[in-house]
Amino acid sequence: MSVVEKNKEDDNKIRECWIQNVCGHDKHAKLKPKEIYDFIIVGAGTAGCVLARELIHCIPDINILVLEAGGPDADNNGLINLPCAIFKNFTLNDHDWGYVTQEQRMPSSVDPTKEILKNGSPFIRGKVWGGSSSLNAMIYMRGQAKEYNDWAAQGPEYKIWDWDHCLEAFKAVEKNSRNNPDETFKKFHGFNGLLHVQDSQNG
């Protein structure tokens, strides 16, 4: 549980304010009866954290309460920050809600005229600061342009979900660290956002 107050300084100070407030509160602490909040955000996942930041930037002198069922990713000794530990993270009950997909009947690969029962599979949903995006093996990827354009084709109200609109949003939040990017790379990546992205490091 954390309270984030308006901070008119740069994003680094906002981030410090966030961390200090979160770390300074017991995650099971009870609310004080007379505390008043302008906004209450349930879930400090990908959307919740971004929403809190945007509200802080856009509305002066507000109090925001962010509620999160999980704790910081540091609780698992840094495994979340190790790409090679991705499968271990799948079994971290403290950081995952433990959802499993339903059993499904599907054609047999041996005999398509017969069906087999496929057992449910783990469906990873983060119960941790950053939400499900904290359990992604630190991999950053986007969908194909066709997927976004297919969404936009569903009707005029979905136009903003086409590839051109989404690409601009992706670029706005990305801070890519590639050295000497060529012009083609620059068309598809951003360099001034808050989301740090870098090429994989081998060896």
Note whether residue 202 is domain-resident.
Answer: no
Note whether residue 73 is domain-resident.
Answer: no
Domains of the chain: total: 3
Do the beta carbons of residue 126 and residue 45 sit within 8 Å? yes
Note whether residue 203 is domain-resident.
Answer: no
Report the alpha-carbon distance of residue 122 to residue 109 in Å, rounded.
Answer: 22
pLDDT in the model for residue 166: 96
Note whether residue 139 is domain-resident.
Answer: no
Q: Which of 7-11, 55-59, 93-97, 147-151 has the highest mean pLDDT?
A: 147-151
pLDDT in the model for residue 94: 77
One domain, residues 27 and 60 = yes
One domain, residues 11 and 62 = yes
One domain, residues 62 and 9 = yes
One domain, residues 118 and 167 = no
Mean pLDDT of all residues belonging to the chain = 81
One domain, residues 130 and 172 = no
Note whether residue 14 is domain-resident.
Answer: yes
Please, what is the Cα angle at 52 between 176 and 141, to 5 degrees?
Answer: 30
One domain, residues 7 and 57 = yes
One domain, residues 60 and 11 = yes
Q: Which of the listed residues 67, 95, 120 is the one where a domain comes to its end? A: 67
One domain, residues 14 and 44 = yes
Q: What would the pLDDT profile of 156-197 be if each residue is shown by its tens digit?
A: 999 999 999 999 999 999 999 999 999 999 999 999 998 899
One domain, residues 52 and 103 = no
Note whether residue 113 is domain-resident.
Answer: yes
Amino acid code (one letter) for 144: Q
Note whether residue 156 is domain-resident.
Answer: yes
Do the beta carbons of residue 73 and residue 95 sit within 8 Å? yes
pLDDT in the model for residue 93: 65
The mean pLDDT value for 24-35 works out to: 58
Q: Which of the listed residues 67, 92, 110 is the one where a domain comes to its end? A: 67
The mean pLDDT value for 45-73 works out to: 88
Confidence at 33, pLDDT banded by 50, 70, 90: low
Amino acid code (one letter) for 77: N
pLDDT in the model for residue 3: 45
Query: CATH code at 184?
Result: 1.10.1220
Share of the chain above pLDDT 70, in %: 77
The mean pLDDT value for 19-30 works out to: 51
- Identify which has the larger pLDDT, 176 or 19: 176
One domain, residues 15 and 56 = yes
One domain, residues 13 and 62 = yes
How many Cα atoms occupy the beta-carbon half-sphere of 40 within 13 Å? 7
- Can you list the alpha helix ranges (DSSP code H) found in the chain? 11-23, 46-58, 86-89, 145-152, 163-173, 183-188
Note whether residue 60 is domain-resident.
Answer: yes
The mean pLDDT value for 117-133 works out to: 85
**Three-state SS at 10:** coil
One domain, residues 96 and 44 = no
Q: Which of the listed residues 26, 45, 67 is the one where a domain comes to its end? A: 67
pLDDT in the model for residue 2: 45
Report the alpha-carbon distance of residue 152 to residue 71 in Å, rounded.
Answer: 36
Range of the domain at 98: 78-134
pLDDT in the model for residue 7: 42
